[in-house]
Amino acid sequence: MVRYGALIAAVTFILDQVSKWTILNLINLDERGVIEITPFFNLRMAWNPGVSFGMFASDGPWGRYALIAFTTVIVLFLVIWMVRATNLLVTVAIGLLIGGAVGNIVDRIVHGAVVDFLDFHAFGIHFWTFNIADTAISVGVMLLIYDSFFGAEEAKKPA
């Protein structure tokens, strides 16, 4: 099981970092600001000094270091959980969480903030700007919630 989780984490991390590198270095979104793709989706440059959806943002370096340390501790707990997991769905979910969290840790170390650029909007409302790591973390959490409600029943079914 650990191999699947590690593979999911690695693929998530690579996709996240390649997408951010592309946004910063090939598309130069930091200089361009916003690129309209469709009537409901833009590429919009946003530097997130906080955690998900900008919560716990900190302007100083100590806040950034605290977020890096805190997230690293969470990743270590997730790795332990993944090693002990016996359920493929949970293993995949934790792999998504680890890959996304590590991608955002790297951003904080390298850039001082997380690179966000996916901007969905409708009816004049702009939702949070996010990235692939945030998406992986959200999907991972949803899979864990699903498993908490239905996983025990799935495990009881005969193969």
Which are the catalytic amino acids? Answer: 116, 134
Q: Crossing angle of helices 61-84/88-111, nearest 10°?
A: 160
Token duo for residue 131:
């990235």
- Amino acid, single-letter form, for residue 99: G
DSSP state letter for 53: G
- Amino acid, single-letter form, for residue 23: I
> What is the C-alpha to C-alpha distance for residues 135 and 56, in angstroms, rounded to an integer?
19
Strands ordered across the beta sheet of 114-122: 34-38, 41-48, 114-122, 125-130
8 A C-beta contact, residue 129 and residue 118: yes
